[in-house]
Chains A and B, each alone.
Chain A
Amino acid sequence: MAARPIHRLYLPGAIVAAIIAVALAAPLLPLADPVKMEVPARLALPSLGHVLGQDEYGRDVLSRIIWGARASLAVAFFSAICAGLVGTALGLIGGYARGFLEIVTVRSMEAIVCFPPILLALLVVTLMGPGAATLVIALTILYAPGYTRVAFAATLATRGLDYVTAQQALGARPVRILARTILPNVAPPLLVQFSLTVAAAMVLESGLSFLGLGVVPPAPSWGLMIRGARSTMEQAPWLLLWPCLALTGTILTFNQLCDRLRDVLDPRAGSAGAGWLERAAARVWPDASPAAAPSLLRVEGLTIEIETPTARIRPVRDVSLSLAPGETLALVGESGSGKTLTGLALMGLLPPTMEIVTGRVLFVDRGGRARDLVHLPETEMRGLRGDEIAMVFQDPGSSLNPVHRIGDQVAEVIRAHRDLSRAGAAAQAVALLKDVGLPDPEQRSRAYPHELSGGQRQRTMIAAAIANGPRLLIADEPTTALDVTIQAQILDLLAVFKAKSDMGLIFITHNLAVVAEIADRVCVMYAGEIVEEGPVAEVFARPRHPYTAALIASAPEGADAQLAAIPGTVPLPDALPAGCTFAPRCACAAEPCHAAKPAFAEVSPGHASRCFRWKEIA
């Protein structure tokens, strides 16, 4: 949204500069004396001589507003600077020296924060009597801890960096290191803290003056002016209006400046979309052309597009696959190959930043109807999700909601699709947890996710996924986050469930050993495309794509295989080669491979490859 936030600094910056300039120039401006009374003209309406009218003592309001700005800003800036100097120094020293000095400087400042701010200010006023000097002292004490905290945190982060250690090794004195090296690095957060403090100090100064405990009359201050106007606000409401507007406007501008300054200095804080709650749009028209109904699932020419600030990229291109009931299809590829996005697309769970631009996903539901999931209305899709189509995610630790009991998290998927009482669903959840091999399921169902081991969490996720007896289960690297021994147990568990039903399973993984163990057929994905598909035994024995061959060659024996030994890296979706996507890394690439894209062609019945030279790969 805010592509160039630095632009957004100009307006509030200019207004703040103007306010400060007018306040500074007050003695030079042709203003009436702000304290000169003219009792006969009390509460006079605006006139040529007094543009904003006259107050309850006949003093010129415009002049008092401008001189009041001077008082308010002087107190605010002066105390923000004093607090900044004191607080930053303490934070730098505490952060650099640590140990005893840290306790003296940083921890003592934290004690101050324990006090409600205005109480502390009032305590100082009690001891010292009202006045601008008291205000500055009170506000300095109050706002120093903020700087200390910021400077301390930033110093801690900076002092461990190599260039600081290097200076220490060269024998630079601590003061020099602090001033020359650390201070410039902690300056941005301190700048934000400074503008925050000025705004906060203005609020507190005006509040104390309003109470009669700040700036001493007859000197003008916005807080005092509002206090004065209160007594006559029924006859002269405009007198109240001017200082209120001046005060609120100034604080608002400072706050805006702060917010935008923070945006500029901390670009992380951009605006996000509606997360996982919205579904990606389909930009392709429903394909009404008749197709032979698949036995369970057929994906045809699926292409997903993302709009990035620089370009539209397609992380998944022309993916086609099919699955029969009771069959297991492994989707294999390196990270970024588009396999997870393909899985999410089948669930209708692509984030709203993405679009499906071509293709259809035909799924046969329990009633035997083939439906195009890409164009299914969200309410109907929701009816399928968790019921006929379920998904198990990679990291069970983050996929379970930390604040709910695991039994409830299993029961809710049952109740979302079945008309069942709370107790009935809870009992069924316990039974499911027992089925997935959770020890002592009765009691464990009342546990929270953080009380379970990683393997137990994934068992829970599987229990929730199979709760409604899905026809299709998509497992996205369900064992990657687990120990090797636990991995084997989870794979066994999935195999047991598949044997019990005619559920189709799409198993997304980068681990070839797992593929050999669990899958009937395999789809190898590379840079967003399927490059080879076929029966597992045949593909492993006679790979017909150089990428598959390289994968198999590079996979070490054993369960913990990693795909790392192929030279080069996967091309980024915004920088794809003109010809075959694998050509730049391919050992057998020839002239045509760099010029044109090979088609996905059958090499033997049920076995296809996207390679010009598949015949030459043995």
Chain B
Amino acid sequence: MFGYALTRIAVALGLIWAVVTLVFLIIHFVPGDPAELLLSQGGVAPDPVAVTELREKLGLDRPILAQYVSHIGGLLKGDLGSSLLDDHSVAEEIALRLPRTLELIFAASLIAVLFGLPLGTLAALRSGSPIDRVLAGVAGLGLSIPVFVVGTIAILVFAQKLHWVPAGGFVPFSRDPLQHLILLLMPASAIAVGLGAVVFRMTRSSVLEVLERDYVRAAHAKGLRPSRIVLHHVLRNALIPVVTVLALHMGSLLGGTVLVEFVFNWPGLSGYLVRAVEQRDYPEVVGIVLVISIAFVVINLAVDLLYAVIDPRVRHG
């Protein structure tokens, strides 16, 4: 178990290094001068003085290897540079906003699993029945509605027409826990619609597959109750591919928050990213992309470790 965890962590560190290097290379090997590219607006050639200034500020005038070394050195110290517009520290801003985005992802995953897992199991156990078909139809719809459509319509219905919840915004948990959770509910649910549909589909097909296994027949031959067979023997095995798929969707989930944070005014990392992209604030964009990519690697690491808990065979491999 310990050796397995150590290997996984080493692989994750390697991946993070690869991501850092890749982002660095993208910026440097894109055709054209990045400084010039960033300053040009609508095809008008930028002021050469400004370009030179920006090149110096970004350190683009130094040899590429030196840039790379100082880039890595900065990262190790937690320095992601500062905003081109207001000199605000990128690392500080990210430290403030990252927990909010992770909270959103966590809440959305929780809601998605809470609905997708039991309903997926139910649909598998009653496969071919009317319940199964209705649930499959709902899941198909859930997969097809873009997250910003769900969010926008939810605001229209629940905030503006029914006045059940505010249209969006954010209150720190420390100031008003209840209001914080109420404001979290809508964006998290909006993400959970598509994610829940994915979890549902995966659970359904995975449970169906496990039900055909010999060990389920053997469990039945022991005279166990169906509830115990499902909970103890089927679900534990069926969860393995569900966890895989959930992990694979973390990427699109991190993407999904961009739109949801925008729709619900949730001041997370992704909204910050959109603003940075709009203003083409290059250190901000690079910093956020790095942090999200690293978060992505870390989430995958956590999932790998979770595997080992669910499936004893993995600990050996």
A231 to B107, CA, bound (A): 28
Q: How far is the CB of B55 from chain A (nearest CB, A)?
A: 16
Interface residues of B in 17-33 (CB under 8 A from A): 18-19, 22-23, 26, 30
B153 within 8 A of A: yes
Query: Contact at B230–A395, with CB atoms within 8 Å?
Result: no
Query: Contact at B140–A256, with CB atoms within 8 Å?
Result: yes
Interface residues of A in 166-217 (CB under 8 A from B): 199, 203, 206-207, 210-213
Query: Contact at A119–B293, with CB atoms within 8 Å?
Result: yes
A273 to B128, CA, bound (A): 8
Query: Contact at A119–B292, with CB atoms within 8 Å?
Result: yes
B71 within 8 A of A: no
Query: Contact at A126–B277, with CB atoms within 8 Å?
Result: yes
Q: How far is the CB of A130 from chain B (nearest CB, A)?
A: 9
A285 within 8 A of B: no
| Given contact pairs A115-B293, A122-B273, A277 touches B146 in the complex (Cβ within 8 A) | no
| Given contact pairs A240-B153, A255-B144, A384 touches B255 in the complex (Cβ within 8 A) | no
A224 to B15, CA, bound (A): 36
Collect the chain B residues with CB atoms within 8 Å of residue A448's CB: 312-313
A129 to B37, CA, bound (A): 9
Query: Contact at B220–A277, with CB atoms within 8 Å?
Result: yes
Query: Contact at B222–A416, with CB atoms within 8 Å?
Result: yes
A226 within 8 A of B: yes
| Given contact pairs A275-B211, A383-B223, A385-B222, A234 touches B148 in the complex (Cβ within 8 A) | no
| Given contact pairs A347-B221, A386-B224, A399-B218, A272 touches B208 in the complex (Cβ within 8 A) | yes
Of A83-91, A244-252, A356-364, A434-442, the one touching chain B: A244-252
Main DSSP-derived SS at the A contact region: helix
Collect the chain A residues with CB atoms within 8 Å of residue B215's CB: 398-402
| Given contact pairs A126-B280, A126-B285, A391-B221, A277 touches B230 in the complex (Cβ within 8 A) | yes
Query: Contact at A275–B289, with CB atoms within 8 Å?
Result: no
A226 to B145, CA, bound (A): 13
Interface residues of B in 136-195 (CB under 8 A from A): 140-141, 143-149, 152-153, 155-156, 160
Query: Contact at A119–B222, with CB atoms within 8 Å?
Result: no
Closest to A447 in B: B312
Query: Contact at B223–A403, with CB atoms within 8 Å?
Result: no
Closest to A269 in B: B205
Q: How large is the interface on B (under 10, 10 to 19, 20 to 34, 35 or more residues)?
A: 35 or more
Collect the chain A residues with CB atoms within 8 Å of residue B259's CB: 207, 210-211
Indicate with 1 or 0, residue by residue over B198-227, a CB within 8 angstroms of chain A CB atoms. Answer: 000000000011111111111111111110
A247 to B280, CA, bound (A): 29
Query: Contact at A240–B208, with CB atoms within 8 Å?
Result: no
| Given contact pairs A252-B140, A401-B237, A247 touches B149 in the complex (Cβ within 8 A) | yes
Collect the chain A residues with CB atoms within 8 Å of residue B26's CB: 123
A240 to B160, CA, bound (A): 13
Closest to B27 in A: A127
B244 within 8 A of A: no
Indicate with 1 or 0, residue by residue over A478-489, a CB within 8 angstroms of chain B CB atoms. Answer: 000000000000
A114 to B148, CA, bound (A): 24
Closest to A401 in B: B215
Q: How far is the CB of A521 from chain B (nearest CB, A)?
A: 24
| Given contact pairs A244-B149, A255-B144, A412-B224, A271 touches B217 in the complex (Cβ within 8 A) | no
When the two chains form the complex, which single residue of B15, B212, B296 contacts A272, counting CB atoms closer than 8 Å? B212
| Given contact pairs A240-B156, A252-B141, A349-B220, A211 touches B262 in the complex (Cβ within 8 A) | yes
When the two chains form the complex, which single residue of B152, B214, B285 contacts A398, counting CB atoms closer than 8 Å? B214
When the two chains form the complex, which single residue of B155, B233, B293 contacts A401, counting CB atoms closer than 8 Å? B233
Indicate with 1 or 0, residue by residue over A401-418, a CB within 8 angstroms of chain B CB atoms. Answer: 111100000001100110
The 6 closest A-B pairs by CB, nearest first: A275-B211, A118-B255, A386-B223, A385-B223, A386-B222, A252-B144
A-B contact pairs, 11 of them (CB 8 A): A123-B23, A223-B148, A274-B124, A275-B211, A277-B230, A382-B223, A382-B225, A402-B311, A403-B311, A450-B312, A461-B218
Q: Which A positions have Cβ atoms within 8 angstroms of B?
A: 1, 111, 114-119, 122-123, 125-129, 199, 203, 206-207, 210-213, 223, 226, 230, 233-234, 237, 240, 244, 247-248, 251-252, 255-256, 259, 271-277, 347, 349, 382-387, 390-391, 393, 395, 398-404, 412-413, 416-417, 448, 450, 461, 464
